[in-house]
Amino acid sequence: MKTERSEKPEARPAELLRKPGPRRGREHAIRGIPVCPGIAIGPIFDTTEVPTEAPRRSIDTAQVEAEKGRLAEAVSLSRKQLAKLKTRLSVLPEEAQEELAPLLDAYVLMLGNSRLLRGARKRIEAELLAAETAVGDEAESIAALILAARDDDKPGLQRRAGEVREIARRLTRNLTSTPFRSLKGVPEGAILVAEELTPADAALLDPTRIAGVATDEGGADGHTAIMLRALGIPAILGVTGLSESAERGDLAVLDGATGTIVLRPGEKTMEKGRAALAAFAKERAKLAKLRRLPAITTDGELVELQANLEIPAELPLIAQAGAQGIGLLRTEFLFMNREDLPDEEAQLAAYTQVLEAMGGDQVTIRVLDWGGEKDMQALSEGVAPTHSGPNPALGLRGLRLLLKRPELLEAQFAAILRVAERGPVRILLPMVTNPSEVKAARDIYEKVARRLRRKGIAVPDKLPDLGVMIETPGAALAADAIALEADFFAIGTNDLAMYTLAVDRAETEVSHLYDSLHPAVLRLMQFATEAALRLRMPVSVCGEMAGNPRLVPLLLGLGIRCLSMNASAIPRVKQAVRALDIADCARFARRVMEQSDPARIHELVLNFETGAEKG
């Protein structure tokens, strides 16, 4: 499921991969990356292609060159997608590889100096057609010529015509940012299988209908994973070869905690799956009883457990989980799956809904963090850079984009300031590397507050706190300098690990290197935490580490007393907090921080025992 500008290969055209599959009909277990715990038993629903029909469009003479440029960009993106698909062939059975490799080569040839592209460019110039219209017309005219040829090999002709249409569809999708797959018609209780889901795709899933999700691509802390956890859908990502093996309608058992999916399970596996499903429900009921109990250590230290919110649909879950406020409201949802931008009023309505639902608990609103693998259609035209650049994660992401387009930041600040009268809010700045960025954001913040006051709009005398995400090595190492400009810190361990280790958080191929427990990441976290604590400035962890109960002793030992996580993780984390003693945690953290080998740190974390457990 892709929209434009991704360089990853999107789902293959259905006709491209009619797969022999590993011994069809037999039970087949595949492992992936565990992303959201829970058991799903149900039929596979592999997502289907959406026909790409771009509306016909004409252009002016003045637009010809730009249109040819758009076509060239789409060609280059399509080539990259196909090259990546080719590298993926190795996971397929040999027969499938033999069949597909020449086909992919043919597609790549059609993206060279081909009749299709020459014809499309000519149509742009001579007929003043938009690139997607020109490509569609030219492909249809070539396909008609092929089909009209005098040749007895009718299936061969149809295949060749199909290939031309297929490459035209790919170009059209890349020209129009049309999603590659449709989620419509997913039957209730199904396990959704896709080659890849974007965070925006995941946001559209209905957790009451979908039993589980499994995809070929993706990593544990990518935004798609975060979204799936937020929705509480049992999920595994990075299941290499899955869509080659799974067929729509196959029964499957998915275990989101172990990261396994068993296709066409036999009776024994089914029995085990049913037992695991019942055990999971029982444990959930047990954890629900913790809701009203405080998150307090055995020696009386209170720990604040807050929720991360990705979409408003999670609000009831947050209430059920017993969160003490929202430690990270990712506002990207406001910009997803829409054509236009949400204005100040629309944002105000959304923030009001959240604040009211939280009934007086603190809400930390992070301003838009566009960029990296978050692809938002609302931003892809007009606002976001037309080019995401060679390395989007290092480009105009987060606060960088907002400072370049201050009108976006102003609208967001204004909406937050207006809602601040209704309850305690804080504002969080994403992707900061330099104290000057915080200063610049604060200048805009204060200017917006003055403007609102001038207009007679009530704004609190003391403006809501303005905090900084510590999620780049630069910010962590300059935390003492940044702390002087900030009111609080929230440590974003997802990006911190990604940027420190130079490992894309959503990339399956390098997921084995993505490790938040790497000593380099932990040292940065420690440095930033200490910088905040020295100034008695609030500091929290809001990356995915915060929701892992096994990591609570280490985080408390490092001095963290506020954790913000996906709501469904709160009960387990609370259970962990309530079994810990702060002095034990501090000793443990010192021991961990002495280690230089990540594997040893994992071992220590895995084997940590509370005082009570040691007896």
Copy the structure tokens of residue 110.
């059609």
Give me the least distance between CB of 391 and ligand PEP, in Å please: 16
Site residues (CB under 6 A) for ligand PEP, limited to 212-231? 226
Site residues (CB under 6 A) for ligand PEP, limited to 299-338? 328, 330
Give me the least distance between CB of 471 and Mg ion, in Å please: 5
Hey, what amino acid is at 370?
A: W
From the candidates 28, 36, 223, 585, which is the catalytic residue? Answer: 223
User: 183 vs 368, which CB is nearer to ligand PEP?
Assistant: 368
Residue 373 near Mg ion by CB under 5 A:
no
Helix (H) or strand (E) holding 535: none
User: 39 vs 329, which CB is nearer to ligand PEP?
Assistant: 329
316, 297 contact by CB (below 8 A) = no
| Cα end-to-end span (Å), the chain | 51
Helix axes 115-127, 154-176, angle to 10 degrees: 50
Residue 492 near Mg ion by CB under 5 A:
yes
Closest residue to Mg ion, Cβ-based? 495
Residue 471 near Mg ion by CB under 5 A:
yes
Helix (H) or strand (E) holding 574: helix 570-577
227, 544 contact by CB (below 8 A) = no
User: 45 vs 499, which CB is nearer to ligand PEP?
Assistant: 499
CA atoms within 13 A on the CB side of 541: 30
7, 81 contact by CB (below 8 A) = yes
Give me the least distance between CB of 374 and ligand PEP, in Å please: 8
Candidate residues 269, 494, 526, 548; the one interacting with ligand PEP per rule CB under 6 A: 494
User: 201 vs 369, which CB is nearer to ligand PEP?
Assistant: 369
Residue 493: which of Mg ion, ligand PEP, none does it interact with, CB under 5 to 8 A by kind?
A: ligand PEP
Name the one range near ligand PEP by CB under 6 A: 241-249, 439-447, 480-488, 490-498: 490-498
From the candidates 28, 36, 542, 585, which is the catalytic residue? Answer: 542
Helix (H) or strand (E) holding 237: strand 235-237
Candidate residues 314, 369, 507, 515; the one interacting with ligand PEP per rule CB under 6 A: 369
Hey, what amino acid is at 303?
A: V
**Active site includes 223?**
yes
Residue 495 near Mg ion by CB under 5 A:
yes
Q: What is the x/- site pattern for ligand PEP, positions 438-477, by CB under 6 A?
A: ---------------------------------x------
Residue 330: which of Mg ion, ligand PEP, none does it interact with, CB under 5 to 8 A by kind?
A: ligand PEP
Give me the least distance between CB of 505 and Mg ion, in Å please: 9
Name the one range near ligand PEP by CB under 6 A: 384-392, 411-419, 487-495, 596-604: 487-495
176, 125 contact by CB (below 8 A) = no
Nearest to 51 by CA among 226, 207, 221, 172: 172
Residue 67: which of ligand PEP, Mg ion, none does it interact with, CB under 5 to 8 A by kind?
A: none
Helix (H) or strand (E) holding 45: strand 39-46
Give me the least distance between CB of 489 and Mg ion, in Å please: 13
CA gap 92, 109 in Å, rounded = 23
**Count of positions on this chain that bind Mg ion (CB under 5 A):** 3
Residue 526: which of Mg ion, ligand PEP, none does it interact with, CB under 5 to 8 A by kind?
A: none
Find the DSSP H helices in 289-405: 315-321, 344-357, 377-380, 399-404
Closest residue to ligand PEP, Cβ-based? 492
Nearest to 291 by CA among 305, 273, 301, 309: 305
User: 37 vs 492, which CB is nearer to ligand PEP?
Assistant: 492
Give me the least distance between CB of 365 and ligand PEP, in Å please: 13
Name the one range near ligand PEP by CB under 6 A: 3-11, 28-36, 150-158, 486-494: 486-494
* Block residue for tokens 């209905």: 206
CA gap 27, 22 in Å, rounded = 10
- Report the phi/psi class of residue 67: left, alpha or beta, with left for phi > 0 and alpha for psi in -120 to 50: alpha
Paired strand residues for 267? none
Hey, what amino acid is at 169?
A: R
User: 178 vs 493, which CB is nearer to Mg ion?
Assistant: 493
User: 322 vs 543, which CB is nearer to ligand PEP?
Assistant: 543
Residue 543: which of ligand PEP, Mg ion, none does it interact with, CB under 5 to 8 A by kind?
A: ligand PEP
361, 399 contact by CB (below 8 A) = no
DSSP 3-state of 290: coil
Candidate residues 492, 553, 557, 571; the one interacting with ligand PEP per rule CB under 6 A: 492
Q: What are phi and psi of 17, to 5 degrees?
A: -125, 85
Copy the structure tokens of residue 9.
């290969």
**Active site includes 387?**
no
Candidate residues 3, 198, 388, 493; the one interacting with ligand PEP per rule CB under 6 A: 493
Copy the structure tokens of residue 352.
């009001």
Give me the least distance between CB of 226 and ligand PEP, in Å please: 6
Site residues (CB under 6 A) for ligand PEP, limited to 230-259? none
Site residues (CB under 6 A) for ligand PEP, limited to 534-553? 542-543
Find the angle CA(326)-CA(331)-CA(332) to the nearest 5 degrees. Answer: 135
Nearest to 428 by CA among 528, 324, 542: 542
256, 242 contact by CB (below 8 A) = no
Q: What are phi and psi of 239, to 5 degrees?
A: -90, 85
Hey, what amino acid is at 12?
A: R
- Active site residues per annotation: 223, 542
Q: Which residues bind Mg ion (CB under 5 A)?
A: 471, 492, 495
Interacting residues with ligand PEP (CB under 6 A): 226, 328, 330, 369, 471, 492-495, 542-543
